[in-house]
Each structure stands twice: as structure tokens, then as C-alpha cells.
Amino acid sequence: MTTALRRLRNYIDGEFRDAADGRTTEVVNPATGEAYATAPLSGAADVDAAMAAAEAAFPAWRDLIPAERQKVLLKVADRFEERAEELIAAESENCGKPIALVRSEEIPPMVDQIRFFAGAARMLEGRSAGEYMDGFTSIIRREPVGVCAQVAPWNYPMMMAVWKFAPALAAGNTVVIKPSDTTPASTVLIADIIGSVLDELGHSRGVFNVICGDRETGRLMVEHKVPAMASITGSVRAGMQVAESASKDLKRVHLELGGKAPVVVFEDTDIPKAVEDISVAGYFNAGQDCTAATRVLVHESIHDEFVAALAKAASETKTGAVDDEDVLYGPLNNANQLKQVKGFIERLPAHAKIEAGGEQVGEKGYFFAPTVVSGLKQDDEIVQHEVFGPVITVQSFSDEKQAVQWANGVEYALASSVWTKDHARAMRMSRSLDFGCVWINTHIPLVAEMPHGGFKKSGYGKDLSSYGFDDYTRIKHVMTSLDG
């Protein structure tokens, strides 16, 4: 017997709908490699409908006093907690993620982030009014930008959706969001949660819309005449395409793209502690994280000891079934991503050495072993380009100058870390490293109050924090004559 596939649908103006032309795509569970659902393959008619709904809902949502938008987001956060097990199940099936880790590492920060932006909703302020010309007072208004077209990635479908819709809605914008074509399930569930809250509190459900689809759907969203802003988390290639498309009508663009985080380990580092933390930060979520600790630069005096300890940690790290509470990570997200990671390993230069892992594991699904590769040079492909898999590379450096040069010597600039007991050196490195975030003696913690975003080909704009909130607003100068 063939098991019937679950049918996911778009959420437009408060209704769950199939694609207007009936097209669908299969959604595969990466832990099994088998399809479990179908989702709409949305086209121009679906994008038009979603944008029309968001545009119609915008004036009333914009004009609400901030406290009312805060009420909505606080209730959404409460509902996330109440329906946590549904969200966990959807995300685990979406991504093959271990259930226990989604419960402990994703639900709590998402709820906290929504509540943070609920507070930010009441901080739509400009600088103090003042007189800068005789007889006139100037006032600054901070306003929402309008309809936001948002495209979320497949590595953290739920959390990245939160990072997008929460500041946008808090600032008074309306949203059309597209999940990745490989991971639509949890975003469709989020639509049900937000839609029900909007309805309960007497607001238009057109404030929040979800359309499923592929790259073409995303292109149609970005090029549509209605949105005032396009926001994407994805690859550098996708970001460049979005920036180019948005330039045609000068849309505002918010890009969080790839990363190749350097992890600079000096000779005075506590090696066991550093190895433990770095291996977790490198392998968590199968290394499918733009900030993952996957490019280690270690001082030559401790190189061999560090590599041996890291290889041992890799051999003790588990990947496996979603219900196994001992695993650190699940599968790669899709067959193409598995092929990409394998390709990096197959193309390793002769001078590289695989210290641990390096192969696919399991009889089904897209699982890849925790991997350590040493003996690499700065211009090697695997050093310069984002693998987005559970692969940690190691290079040996001789001094601080070389460490900085190699750390900065990639096209990405999202995150980095420095491992040393020398405070002055840590401060010098934090100044010299050309990355949006520098962690010292840790790697990967994030908090809602602090910004996340990079430079160079890692994109521009910030997620989280008041800076991320500001990105979803525009500034207006109002000047009034004091003569009446």
C-alpha cells in the first residue's frame, strides 16, 4: 500500500489555499529520504493574491498603536509555547532534526525573540524634537516600510521565520513569507498560529501570509510591485539575485547570506575545553549554520595535540534518528546538499588529510559523519568556500599577524571566534577580525538583544536586536513653522 502524502497549502488572507494552477512539489523527510507531504508550487497568481492581501491589511496594521501590535506578538509567543509539540514535530519532519534538541535549543529562544520584538514594538521613536532653523521645529517619525517580501532558508525554517516576521510585524509592516521548498511544514503551521491570534484579537489575517514554492516563486515575490522591502536568508548566489531583482524598482533589501567563520586558537588555550566547545559549535545542526565553527586556525605549537583531540571528539559525536536523545545532529537537509558535502571531500587536494569521518553514514536518509580535515592551505577550495556540513577544517598558523591575514582571507564576514587567555590579544583580534560578530573563548551563542549580521559577501542588514528592528522602519522628517 502507498501511504497518502499530507497536503500542505498556502496561507493567504486568512485562508489555506492550493496553488491557483494546482501545481505541487513533494516534500522529503531528510532522515528517511522519503516524501511525506506535498506543497504548493506557487506561481504569479498566488504571489499576486498574497501581496494584495498584505497590501490591503497594511494601513490598519500600520495605524495601530504599538501596544496593540505588542499584544498580538505576546499572544503569538504564548501560543508557540502552548503548541510547542506540534512545532517540534513539524520541524523534526521538515529537517530530520533530533526532537530533544528542537525542544531545548529552538523553541525557548524563538519564544524569547518574539517577546523581545513585542517589546520593541513600543519603541518606534526618533531623536528629540528641536529647532535647527529660527522659527521652525523639526520632528523625526519612525514608520514601517510597508509590505515585506521575506524568504526563509531550510537550515532553521522556524527560527529564521521568527527572525523575519517578528521585527517586521512589530514595526507595523505586513508580511508575505516563503519557506524553502524543502522545508515548508513548520512555516505553514506558524501561519495557522498567527492567523488564529490575529482573528481572536480582531485584526485582518492578511497581515501575515505564507506562500510555498521554489526559486521562481521567490523571484516573483522580490520583483512584485507591492513589497517595499525584500528580506532573504540564503546563499550568496541567491542574495546577489535578490539584490539585482530588487534594484529594478529600488526596493530596500535585507540580506543574511553565507559564512566561513574562522576559529582562531592560540597556544595558551585550554585545549580540552576549546575542543569540546568547538566540536559542538561545528557539528550542531550538521554544520548547516552560517556561523558554524568549521574553519579552525590553530597555533603551530599545539597543532598536533589539538588535531588529535578534535578527531577524538568527532569520533565520539553521534548523528542519527530523531528520537535518539544522544545524538548531536541529524541529516543534511536534502540530496543536493549531501552531494555538495561529498564533493568537497572527494575534491580534497593530495596534501589534505582526513583525520575523522569523511563519509555518508546509515542506509537511508542524508546523514554524514562528523569530519575533521587537516593539512590544508589557505587557497584550498574547502577553506575558501562554505561547505555547510559537519566538516571542520584545520590550518596551522605561526603568529598573530598570519592568523589575522588567514582569518580575514575569505569572501565571507559573518562570524568568528578567538581562543586565548591573553586579554590584550583577544582585544587586538576582536578589532582586527573583519566579521560581524567576534566571540572570545566561545562560539555560536546568540541573544535577542544583540545583532546578528555580517559584512562582505555575508550580506548586509541585521537580524535580532534593536538594530534588526530598525531595519524594518523608515525615517521621516517633519518640520513645522512656529508662526502657526
Decide if 228 contacts 145 (C-beta within 8 A): yes
Task: State the catalytic residues.
Answer: 256, 290
CA–CA separation, 289 and 313 (whole Å): 19
DSSP H or E segment with residue 445: none
What length does the chain have?
A: 484
Q: Would you tell me how many other CB atoms lie within 10 Å of the CB of residue 302? A: 18
What DSSP letter does each residue of 304-359 carry, written as one string?
A: HHHHHHHHHHHHT--B--TT-TT-SB---SSHHHHHHHHHHHHT--TT-EEEE--S
The dihedral over CA atoms of 273, 277, 282, 285, expressed in degrees to the nearest 10, equals 150
Considering Cα of 214, then 218, then 219, then 225, what sign does the dihedral take?
Answer: positive
Which residue pairs from 2-8 have beta carbons closer than 8 angstroms and sit at least 24 positions apart in sequence? 5/35, 5/36, 5/37, 5/38, 6/36, 6/37, 6/38, 7/37, 7/38, 8/37, 8/38, 8/39, 8/40, 8/184, 8/185, 8/188, 8/212
Alpha-carbon distance values, 479 to 61, 128, 144, 465 (Å): 26, 13, 20, 30
Look up residue 126 and give its amino acid.
Answer: G
Number of C-beta neighbours around residue 91 at 10 A: 26
**Residue with the three cell numbers 573583519:** 434
Burial of 168 (0-12, 13-18, 19+ CB in 10 A): buried
The two beta strands, 229-233 and 147-151, are parallel
The C-alpha atoms of residue 12 and residue 9 are separated, in whole angstroms, by 9
Please tell me whether residue 429 adopts helix, strand or coil conformation.
helix
> DSSP code of 281?
H
